[in-house]
Chains A and B, each alone.
Chain A
Amino acid sequence: MADMAAIPAAGGASLRQRRLLTHMAIFLTLILMWELGAQVGWLDPLFFPAPSAILTSVWRIYFSQGNIWYHLYISLGLVLAGFTAGSILGIGLGAVVGMNAVIRRFLQPYVIVLEATPRIAVAPLLIAALGFGVTSKIAIIMLVCFFAPFINTLSGVINVDRDRMELMRSLGASKMQVLRKLVLPEAIPVIMAGERLALTSALSGVLVAEFIQRDQGIGTLILTYTRNLNMASAFACILTLTLIGFLIFKGMEMLDHHIAYWKNEAGLRRVGAKRARAWAMSQKGNAHA
């Protein structure tokens, strides 16, 4: 790659354009081959619907029939509710357990056992205990969301730098100060990673809950379309989920950059400038007084 550095900026741009074109060419060839295969009859439309059929379905479920909006609204509402509750519980408990060695020691075996259990497997149990409906769905999502933030908060709190902790203690910092100024800032990147995992699993959780309950929501929609062998519409729903997954991924990345600003250059500069301004303002105020 040494010769690439010698290419001037304009040449680099054209290289990027050429690569983009190659990407599009590969993508279009694949889609065209798929379409051709479906049209000629090599691919069974029951299993592999033609891309054009999927596109028509996308148009239908979003615009002409517009039936996906209601299910999306239901599913995403549940995801949000379950994720919020589950991650607050996870972070809170993780912090408490992380700060207290005795609780940690007695909780450890249970955590190991629970970690080995596939969490989603508890779904039928929760539905049986809480009945069909919103409550059991939110409970399932909460349970699925709980673990990643819990474990990550726990490890973030435990792995705080001992020397820094000792330094703060010896300078007479209170417990609250140690928590706010040392433990939380050090743990936040790890916690955010846990939150990202939790939000992704929340999406899976709501789907499983809806597959089992079969009443409403995007999971039920996929199930119904597949049952009716309307595979094109099922694929259109999957594409929707891909988009949601991508938005979650990007959104969490942005949030991470924003909250854990000291981990990236731009964020550090932004917050630094803001603080410098605030400080300058307060200095001015003092001078006037």
Chain B
Amino acid sequence: MREPEAWLYWMFRILPHLMLFAALMVLWEWAVASGTINTIMVPRPSAIFGAIVELYVTKGTIYEHFFITLAEAVFGFLIGAGVAIALAVSSSLSESFERYVSPYAVVLNVTPGIALTPIIIAWFGYGMGSKIALAAVICFFPIFVNTLTGLRQTDADREELFRSFGATRRQVFLQLRVPAALPLMFAGLKIGLTTALIGAVVAEFAQATAGVGVLMSRFSFALDMASSLATLLSMTLIGLLLFYTMEFLDDRVVFWRREARLSAVSRARARAWKSDAEK
């Protein structure tokens, strides 16, 4: 008996949204058709829909570019995050390392990374390498700062408790500091992943042969606004895909932050412990 109720509930939640969306689309279509809005600046919704069908279904041109940009963003993110986390961990372990490295990190932070675009393209060429490099440079800082802040903000009482039970430095780090840092680190990783996508797309705008950024500037400069907007949609899709992947990982790794996941994990552990004890 619960099924139809839940279904109805969702129906009533979503229906007003859908109606508003439809009304907006109709109004927009009418405004363009009647000539109130210039078609070059704002294409009709039906034209955008047509372009979406063409790009994604009938011709399927978008997929190659979609995966190239996705790969650039992901590889750039992995490199940037790897370096950032390694530096943050070293900084948190050694005070003098932090003292002598952090000024350079701060200088890197206040420089708009986007400004390096032409230089990085000159260094790494027109292919995917330069896009990956720019994505890595841009996403480095938020991850570095968040990881370092997280690793430093350990509760002094807990650390004392660990020490008084005879924990080694390694144990304090792995079992106390790292778990305490993970929520902040994941917040940084989420920002970094979105930033990496921006880096990949901007590098594609500047100079590239493939990717959604290239596709988008091509359509825009041909004044094909409908296709251009349809391409923009693919960037939104990449953004959502990356964000929710990270959100999912966050949910799995930092399970103790959410009630439901916490009880699920502790139940699983209890089961494992019980079956161990029965053996």
For the complex, give the distance between the alpha carbons of A226 and B122 in Å.
Answer: 7
A100 interface hit (Cβ, 8 Å): no
Looking at the complex, which one of B16, B42, B121, B205 makes contact with A208 (CB distance below 8 Å)?
B205
User: Which residue on B lies nearest to A1, using beta carbons?
Assistant: B95
A222 partner, pick from B118, B197, B205, beta carbons under 8 A = B118
A-contacting residues, B211-254, CB 8 Å: 213, 216-217, 220-221, 223, 225, 228-229, 232, 235-236, 239-240, 243
**Chain B residue nearest in CB terms to A211:** B206
Q: Which residues of A contact B111 (CB under 8 A)?
A: 238, 241-242, 245
* Chain A residues within an 8 Å CB radius of B221: 124, 128
Q: Are A117 and B235 in contact, with the CB atoms below 8 A?
A: yes
Q: Is the CB of A128 within 8 A of B220?
A: yes
Report Cα–Cα, A207/B111, bound state, in Å.
12
In the complex, how many angstroms separate the beta carbon of B240 from the nearest chain A beta carbon?
4
Query: Chain A 214-252, CB within 8 Å of chain B: the 1/0 string?
Result: 000001001101110101001101100110011011000
Q: Roughly how many angstroms separate A219 CA and B110 CA in the complex, as a whole number?
A: 16
- Verify if B35 is at the interface (C-beta below 8 Å from A): no
Expressed in whole angstroms, the minimum distance between the Cβ of B73 and any Cβ of chain A is 9
B86 contacts A by Cβ under 8 Å: no
> Given that A23-B103, A245-B112 are known contacts, is A125 also in contact with B225, CB under 8 Å in the complex?
yes
The B-contacting residues of A in range 118-139, CB under 8 angstroms, are 118, 120-125, 127-130
Q: How far is the CB of A119 from chain B (nearest CB, A)?
A: 8
User: Which chain B residues lie closer than 8 Å to A234 at the CB level?
Assistant: 118-119
Question: How close is A58's CB to chain B, nearest CB, in angstroms?
Answer: 15
B44 to chain A, nearest CB (A): 14
What bracket does the count of chain B residues touching chain A fall in? 35 or more
Interface membership of A155, Cβ < 8 A = no
Min CB–CB distance B231 → chain A (angstroms): 9
Q: Give the chain B neighbours of A122 by CB distance below 8 A.
A: 232
CB < 8 Å neighbour of B235 from A121, A219, A235, A245 = A121
Interface residues of B in 80-104 (CB under 8 A from A): 99-100, 103
- Say yes or no for B170: interface residue by CB 8 A criterion: no
Q: From residue B109, how far is it (CB to closest CB) to chain A in Å?
A: 8
Instruction: Please give the distance in Å from A127's CB to the nearest CB on chain B.
Output: 7
Q: Give the residues in chain A near B100, CB-CB below 8 Å.
A: 22-23, 26
Query: How many angstroms between the C-alpha atoms of A229 and B121 in the bound complex?
Result: 11
| Distance between A226 CB and nearest chain B CB, rounded to angstroms | 4
Complex CA gap A216/B262 in Å reads 55
- In the complex, what distance in Å separates the CA atom of A238 from the CA atom of B122? 15
Task: Kindly state the separation between the CA atoms of A200 and B232 in the bound complex, as whole angstroms.
Answer: 23
Contact partners of B17 in chain A: CB under 8 A = 106, 109
**In chain A, what residue has the closest Cβ to B116?**
A238
Give the contacts of A17-54 with B (CB-CB under 8 A). 19, 22-23, 26, 46-47
Q: With contacts A23-B103, A109-B17 known, is A207 near B122, CB below 8 A?
A: no
User: B277 contacts which chain A residues (CB < 8 A)?
Assistant: none
Q: Is A143 an interface residue (CB 8 A)?
A: no
Tell me the B1-47 residues at the A interface (CB within 8 Å).
16-17, 20, 40-42
Q: For the complex, is B143 an interface residue (Cβ under 8 Å from A)?
A: no
Given A47-B123, A109-B17, are A118 and B114 neighbors across the interface (CB < 8 Å)? no
Asked if residues A106 and B16 are in contact (CB atoms below 8 Å), the reply is yes
How far apart are the CA atoms of A227 and B119 in the complex, in Å? 9
A289 in the interface (beta carbon within 8 A): no
When the two chains form their complex, are residues B205 and A211 in contact, meaning their CB atoms are under 8 A apart? Answer: yes
Q: What is the 8 Å Cβ interface bit string for chain A, positions 49-70, against chain B (1 contact, 0 not)?
A: 0000000000000000000000
- Cβ–Cβ contact B225 & A120, under 8 A: no
CB distance from B108 to the nearest CB of A (A): 9
List the A side residues contacting B225 at CB < 8 Å.
125, 128-129
Cβ 8 A contact of A118, one of B117, B198, B223: B198
As a 0/1 sequence over residues 193 to 206 of chain A, the CB contacts with chain B under 8 angstroms (1 = contact) are: 00000001001100
Task: List 10 A-B pairs, minimum CB-CB distance, nearest first.
Answer: A245-B110, A116-B239, A124-B220, A226-B118, A128-B220, A242-B111, A204-B114, A117-B236, A129-B41, A118-B198
Interface residues of B (CB under 8 A from A): 16-17, 20, 40-42, 99-100, 103, 107, 109-119, 121-123, 194, 197-198, 201-202, 205-206, 213, 216-217, 220-221, 223, 225, 228-229, 232, 235-236, 239-240, 243
Give 10 CB contacts A-B under 8 Å: A124-B221, A127-B220, A204-B112, A204-B115, A207-B115, A208-B202, A211-B117, A242-B110, A246-B107, A249-B110
